[in-house]
Amino acid sequence: MKALCWYGKYDVRVQDVPDPKILNPRDAVLKITTTAICGSDLHLYDGYIPSMMKGDILGHEFMGEVVELGSAVTNLKVGDRVVVPFTIACGRCFFCKKGLWSACDNSNPNAGMAETLYGFSGSGLFGYSHMMGGYAGGQAEYVRVPFADVGPIKIPDGLNDEQVLFLSDIFPTGYMAAENCNIQRGDTVAVWGCGPVGQFAIKSAYLLGAERVIAIDDNPDRLRMAAEDGRAETLNFADEDIYEKLRSMTGGMGPDACIDAVGLEAHGHTLDAIYDRAKAAMFMATDRPHALRQAIYACRKGGTVSVPGVYGGFLDKFPFGSAFAKGLTFKMGQTHVHKYLPQLLELVQLGQIDPSFVITHRMSLEDAADAYSTFKQQNDGCIKVVLKPGLQARANGNGNGTGH
């Protein structure tokens, strides 16, 4: 089959690889119908995530049709159309039973590796480094899905792929980020980063009752989407002093909750951001937490900082004194996707949200390497790329086309 494989910094290639097969009784194999590139895939593309190996298949946002089932999977049948959570969870350990699916104890075959770095290991993830399990991802024609009896959710007829694909990651991730803000009546939520997760965090914050949402980025296309689709007020950090502006917009109080939907590769124009970049380039720090610092500093006293953005290692100049002085609450972590699937699918079915609004580019799987580059450069207004195996190869799709 064709699959998108990682070979190093800025080096991904579509190539022929062996088809996946059932390896365990609780496995399934899917034929991929639609897959996507996630913002967090760019951390791999940029070489920020350790323990990758040449030839690893990427991709953790995918859906498709069941073509083969392990002997222990009885709730699915061949031909079912399913969306798969990017977190892999056994469904039976202490954490899964508590709803902390992304903390599953039994799904990472390389848990010892993650333990060395983090103290304890989270769940396995698709296509996201060997420390996170080394599972082959879904930017491919077929994928093997472990613990398929608890992960995949069946999609009812009448919903197309693009409406439900993002249940695999970015919709629940944005939703959990907003839920973590514990939104109360009258609350203002500020969102750093208007990539796809930021867009879903904006919509989710309104769904959960936020009074106002303020979106922060420096990319005009993303800000336009946040304003037009998300109904957010927008700030361009290239033009504004974010702390001062947020303060003045909230009666001097600061936002009640701040969401960092940027993660470890924040860029910015302030001194600390330049310092971070220099330090990371010299391997003296691993992450560039500029957005997170700003969120902590700007948040109102007693407020919440919610972090769906991915961090991998060690943070420098982390303003813990500010966090302490203001009594902030921090909420973060990989998304407990399994927990959110039924309720978010229902929101889509009810028409309360159509997640396909974030898609700007539709490309064929065969063109996936170009898609990474387009997404990375944010060329051509690119916010979200979906890939379809076998889609007629062509330059770039267009923002509002159907893509079929």
Partner 1 sequence: METWEIEFEPHGESEQQDNGNGHDGINVGKYERIASAVGGGALVGYALKSRSKVGVALGLVGAGLLYRGATGQCEAYRALGVNTADSHEDVARDVHIEKSITIGVAPNELYKFWRNFENLPQFMEDLESVTQLDGNRSHWVAKGPAGAKVEWDAEIYNEQEGEFIAWRSLENADITNAGSVHFEEAPGGRGTYLKVVLNYNPPGGKAAQLFARLFGNEPGQLVDSNLRRLKQLLEAGEFPTTEGQSSGRETSTEENTKAEPLAGRAAAGASFGGERGTR
Binding site for partner 1 (CB under 8 A): 1, 3, 5-9, 13, 15, 17-21, 23-26, 46-57, 72, 88, 90, 92-94, 105-113, 116-117, 124, 129-131, 133-136, 140, 142, 144, 146-147, 283-286, 312-314
Q: In Å, how far from its chain's centre is CA 286?
A: 20
CB of 61 to partner 1, least distance (A): 18
Of 25 and 401, nearer to partner 1 (C-beta) is 25
Structure tokens at 260: 């960092």
Of 48 and 62, nearer to partner 1 (C-beta) is 48
CB of 120 to partner 1, least distance (A): 12
Could you give the dihedral angle defined by the CA atoms of residues 243, 244, 246 and 252, in that order, rounded to the nearest 10 degrees?
120
Of 48 and 200, nearer to partner 1 (C-beta) is 48
Structure tokens at 358: 């974030």
Of 44 and 299, nearer to partner 1 (C-beta) is 44
Of 35 and 180, nearer to partner 1 (C-beta) is 35
CB of 90 to partner 1, least distance (A): 4
Could you tell me if 191 and 198 are in contact, meaning their C-beta atoms sit under 8 angstroms apart?
yes
* CA nearest to 304, candidates 254, 264, 262, 242: 254
Amino acid at 368: A
CB of 121 to partner 1, least distance (A): 9
Of 9 and 301, nearer to partner 1 (C-beta) is 9
Could you tell me if 150 and 76 are in contact, meaning their C-beta atoms sit under 8 angstroms apart?
no
| CA separation for the pair 147, 29 (Å, rounded) | 11
> How, if at all, do strands 212-217 and 188-192 pair?
parallel
CA distances from 56 to 20, 121, 128, 315, 348 (A): 13, 20, 9, 27, 33
| CA separation for the pair 57, 44 (Å, rounded) | 11
CB of 71 to partner 1, least distance (A): 11
Could you tell me if 205 and 229 are in contact, meaning their C-beta atoms sit under 8 angstroms apart?
no
CB of 314 to partner 1, least distance (A): 7
CB of 114 to partner 1, least distance (A): 8
Residues sharing a CB contact under 8 Å with residue 336, sequence separation 6 or more, in sequence order: 87, 99, 100, 101, 102, 103, 172, 176
Of 118 and 320, nearer to partner 1 (C-beta) is 118
Of 141 and 260, nearer to partner 1 (C-beta) is 141
CB of 335 to partner 1, least distance (A): 20
| CA separation for the pair 139, 59 (Å, rounded) | 5
CB of 16 to partner 1, least distance (A): 9
Could you tell me if 170 and 200 are in contact, meaning their C-beta atoms sit under 8 angstroms apart?
yes
| CA separation for the pair 320, 326 (Å, rounded) | 10
Number of helical (H) and strand (E) elements in the chain, helices listed first: 13, 18
Of 136 and 266, nearer to partner 1 (C-beta) is 136
Could you tell me if 114 and 108 are in contact, meaning their C-beta atoms sit under 8 angstroms apart?
yes
